[in-house]
Structure 1
Amino acid sequence: MSHKILAINPGSTSTKIALYSGESMVFTKTIDHSPEELNKFNNIADQFDYRKDIILEVLKKGGCELTELSAVVRRGGILPPVESGAYRINKDMVDRLKNNPVVEHASNLGALIANAIAEALEIPGFIYDSVSVDQLEPVARVSGMAGIERSSTFHALNSRAMAIKVAEKLGKKYEDLNFIVAHLGGGISLSAHRKGKAVDIIADDEGPFSPERAGRVPCKKLIDVCYSGDYDKRNMHRKLRGNGGVNSYFGTNDMRVLERMVKDGNQEAVLIYEAMAYQIAKGIGELSAVLCGAVDAIITGGIAHSNDFVSLIEKRISFIAPVEVMPGENEMDGLALGALRVLENKEIAKEYIDR
């Protein structure tokens, strides 16, 4: 019989769940959480029971029999730096995410919810490819300012899932190839993968702007804004993440709205649309130097649903390597197939030890 795996992926305003039988997804649902509901809670940790109960209710309505599950897996939250792959959810991890999180983030709830469900069913619970996956080489950590070290914060789950799929498509192993991966979503991150390790990255605050994040902005001008007296620390963070990028220009983070404006001939929209593609291509070029030009493929995903947008990127970077377009998200597959490899003894789950 195929292993049945429940995958849970909490985001800031939604929770995605999916049920897999072996490699096949048999049920999926995105649960949207309204601002009115979320505003009832003082912090993200307080949302635990609310989100867990909704997940169980949706699974029940969907006819999912929890007693048939072999494992529960969730997106890795923001932990201290960890290796790629699977980790068993243990007491150290739960305590860290519940009582001493590195950053308060919705993804931290996933391990807590998965652990509660798994413990009740007496089955294993895993995280897979945490946001905090860190495989940077020493030279990549240097920022240029003593006391500030670059860290590895990127969309590891989706990026590695896409890279593994492309490697399989090419009939090779992920560990034998070099890739540049562009995760194109509400936030954009780029990563250079050498022989199975993400040896350098461009985080969402270091490179291209995105639908809702400002990306890399001129430091001296940013300092002036910070000290203008118009913003406090929280509002500045919001200005950079959430209200930045396309949202700062047009009051929307919906790329479909921007594309309609472009097709209607709005010249400012054309400029911003092309500028985002330009910055993504520039970041990919930057990472090609990390790999000394030895790039087997460039992979784009997420906003890659838009042929027009991808073509703007491709025309600038296709000289580097073949471009593999993978529209949409691959995170749920990444979670479930990662857990399946552990259950089938093709991968060993690590034990998290808090530091």
Structure 2
Amino acid sequence: MSEERTFHILVINPGSTSTKLSLFRNDREVLHQTWSHSMEDLKGFRSVAEQADFRSHFIDRFLGQKEIDVHIFDAVAARGGLLKPIESGVYSVNRRMREDLVSARFGEHASNLGALLAWAVSEKVGCPAFIADPVVVDEMEEMARLTGFPEIRRKSIFHALNQKSAAREVARMLGKPYEDCNFIVAHMGGGISVGAHRRGRVVDVNNALDGDGPFSPERAGSLPAGQLVELCFSGKYDREEIFRKVTERGGLVAHRESNNFKELKEAKDRGDNQARLIYEALVYKVSQEICKHGATLNGQVDRIILTGGMAMDTLFTRMIRKRVQHLTQVEIIPGEREMLSLALAVLAVLRKEMEQKEYV
């Protein structure tokens, strides 16, 4: 039997104040480094896209310090940004995608840099560049988009990369293709998204950026409409300030002036009653969001999956399990797993187990 071919994949994951880089040999991470960027470092840039050269410098340093021969790269994988709504999959970085990201046509976010940085490396090296399952993956059913206002439709913006990766891992554990399974997946991190996965498609999910669902370390989640309208027209805040309260200054930040979930748990354990109430409310809200998707999937749920950084807290997951296990068994896939998820998705394309898609 011939030996399995070894593929080398450079993974790039730009965050708002960091650039994460990893080198994978097939599905094994062999090198990793995270570069942190202060607000002082970034304040001179008028847009996210303008940071591309600045961030590329750190990629060059990573490759130089680790003495990596770039000609071994078979592909560059990057976190996807705010693009138009697309189906789940692995997409080659092309001109249309780069234009939409540079212009921030569909919104501005640090993840927009991923494809731009990957393309720059791929041009130097002569290998393909890809993104996989960006936050704008949209497979929602039409009735899930409807609201009580015809002019307002629900959007699919969620942690598609980690949700899909965790779902595929659990499907492998069950010995079934992901496309044959029904899952409810809760990604719990700075934002919280809970998706109903029906036979390989996320048919309903909360907008984890500025829409609905549980509150989270940074986001407000669903809010009573009337009270939100009153707040908007109170004269205390302008449009930008309200938007920041919803997307960046809500949740734990609003209640505790910190987005640190670990600190919340430590305060609860010290006897802080407000911290205990917020901690238990998070359990309650996430559990509610999970249980409603029992109806989405007509009660046919193979597994509930808890993932993301907050899933590393065993008490938190145990309390959620107690509230939702009447639906089905609960699996825990802790951590963000973004680097591994990107590598595995691109590896599947390189091995011809999955077809790459084109962004048009």
TM over 0.5: yes
1:149 matched to which residue of 2? 153
Number of the residue aligned with 1:29: 33
Q: For the Cα contact (< 8 Å) 1:190–1:203, is it kept in 2?
A: no
After TM superposition, the runs of 4+ consecutive aligned structure 1 residues lying more than 6 A away are none
Give 1:253's aligned residue: 259
2:55 matched to 1:45? no
- The answer for the alignment partner of 1:334 in structure 2 is 341
CA deviation profile, 1:57-95 (whole Å, cap 9, x unmatched)? 123212322111000011111111111111111111111
Q: Distance in 1 between matches of 2:116 and 2:105?
A: 12
Q: Give the TM-score taking structure 1 as reference length.
A: 0.97
Hey, what's the Cα distance between the residues in 1 that align with 2:130 and 2:51? 20
CA distance in 2 between counterparts of 1:144 and 1:79 reads 26
Q: Tell me the equivalent position of 1:98.
A: 102
Return the letter of the residue paired with 2:292: E
Measure the CA separation in 2 of the matches of 1:133 and 1:45.
21
User: Matched residues in 2 for 1:156 and 1:166: separation?
Assistant: 15
Per the alignment, residue 298 of structure 1 pairs with 304
Q: Counterparts of 1:76-91 in structure 2 under 5 Å?
A: 76-91=80-95
Gaps of 5+ in 2: none
Structure 2 distance, partners of 1:142, 1:64, is: 50
Count of matched residue pairs: 353
Task: Tell me which of 173, 176, 182 is aligned to 1:172.
Answer: 176
> Secondary structure of the equivalent of 1:144?
coil
Give the whole-Å Cα distance in 2 for the aligned partners of 1:15 and 1:99. Answer: 21
> Deviation of residue 30 (structure 1)?
2.0
- What is the percent sequence identity of the aligned residues? 44
**Which of the residues 234, 242, 245 maps onto 1:239?**
245
Determine the structure 1 residue equivalent to 2:144.
Answer: 140
Shift in Å, 1:265 = 0.5
Are 1:198 and 2:202 counterparts?
yes
CA contact (8 A) 1:67 1:121 kept: yes
Counterpart of 2:232 in structure 1 is 226
Q: Which residue pairs with 1:68 in the alignment?
A: 72
SS of the equivalent of 1:246 reads helix
Q: TM-score, normalised by structure 2?
A: 0.96
Q: Match of 1:308?
A: 315
Quote the offset at 1:278 in angstroms. Answer: 0.4
Across the aligned residues of Structure 1 and Structure 2, the Cα RMSD in angstroms comes to: 1.0
- Aligned to 1:335, what secondary structure does the other structure show? helix
Provide the rounded CA distance (Å) in 2 between the counterparts of 1:139 and 1:59. 48
SS in 2 for 1:7: strand
